[in-house]
Amino acid sequence: MHRPRTTFALLISVLGVLLQVSANSQGVHLSDTQADKIGRRLWQNECGGTVSGLTSWNSGENFASLGIGHFIWYPAGQRGPFEESFPPLLVYLKESGVSLPAWLADSHECPWPNRSAFLADLHSARLQELRTILANTVPLQARFAANRLEAALPKMLASAPAGEQATVKQNFYRVAATSGGMYPLVDYVNFKGEGTSPTERYQGQGWGLLQVLETMNDGPAVEQFRTAAAKVLTRRVHNAPPERHEERWLAGWLSRVRSYE
C-alpha cells in the first residue's frame, strides 16, 4: 500500500458504474467488464500490474500486503493502526464460489510471523498458489473494493461532525456523478480507507476518504477531489512519526492521485 508510482494515463474508458442515489442507501453495481477494468487499474496502482507484486511485505511494516489492493493481513499477536482487509477478502472469495486451499481457507491470521519469514517463503509452492488465486480473481477483488465503498458513506456520515455531514455527502455524490468519478472513490477508499477509525490518525488528523471529502472546495468535482487528496496525504506525511519515514512514499502517493481524471 505504500509504493512509489509512475504517473498513470487517463482512464481509458468511461467506467459506466451505476450509482443508485437515495436519501438512505446507495449501491455500486459493476458489470463483469467494469469490474475487470477497475480491478486491473487497482492492480497497476498497487503492484505495477505484476503477478509477483500480488504478495508483498514492505520493510518496516508488521503485515503482509496481498492482492490487487494490497489488502493487509496481520500475523498472530500483531496489530496496528491500519484496518485489516485481507481476511474479509478471503470470506468474500469463498462466498463467491472460489475454491481456496485448506491452509488459506482455514487461516484466521497471517501464517508468516514476520517479514523475514515471508521473504524466505517467497518462492514456495504456498505463495505461488496464492499468487495464482489472486491473479485469477481480479474482478472479484474489484467488487470487494467497491463493496467497501458502498459501506463507506454511512460510516463517514456517522463519524463526521454534525456541521460537516451535508458537505461530505454532497461531495461524495458530486464525484460519483461524474463519468469517471467512481474510479477515484473506489481506489482511494481501498488505498487509504474510510478515514473513520480513531486509530488511523497522526496528531489527531486522519487521511482517509472522509478527510478528502471534508477538504474539497467548490469547482470541478474530480479536480477538487484530486487536489484535496494530495493535501490530505501531504499532511499525513508531515504529521507522521519521524521513525516511519513516510516521506519516502509521498511522491508515489501524489502520482497515484494525479491519475484521478
Q: Computed over its alpha carbons, how large is the radius of gyration of the chain?
A: 18
Predicted pLDDT at 26: 45
Residue 29, beta-bridge partner list? 18
Predicted pLDDT at 13: 27
Residue 66, beta-bridge partner list? 55, 71
Per-residue pLDDT of the chain (261 residues; tens, 9 = 90+): 443 332 222 222 223 333 333 333 445 666 788 788 889 988 998 888 999 999 999 998 999 999 998 999 999 998 887 889 999 999 999 999 999 999 998 888 999 999 999 999 999 999 999 999 999 999 999 999 888 887 889 999 999 999 999 999 999 999 988 877 778 998 898 889 899 999 899 999 999 999 999 999 999 999 999 999 999 999 999 999 999 999 999 999 999 999 898
Considering only CA atoms, which of 105, 112, 108 is closest in space to residue 61?
A: 112
Quote the crossing angle between the two packed helices 247-257 and 221-239, to the nearest 10°: 170
At 148, is the secondary structure helix, strand, or coil?
helix
Predicted pLDDT at 130: 97
Record the pTM.
Answer: 0.71
Q: What are phi and psi of 118, to 5 degrees?
A: -65, -50
For cell 514476520, the residue is 114
Please report the sign of the dihedral spanned by the C-alpha atoms of residue 131, residue 135, residue 136, residue 137.
Answer: positive
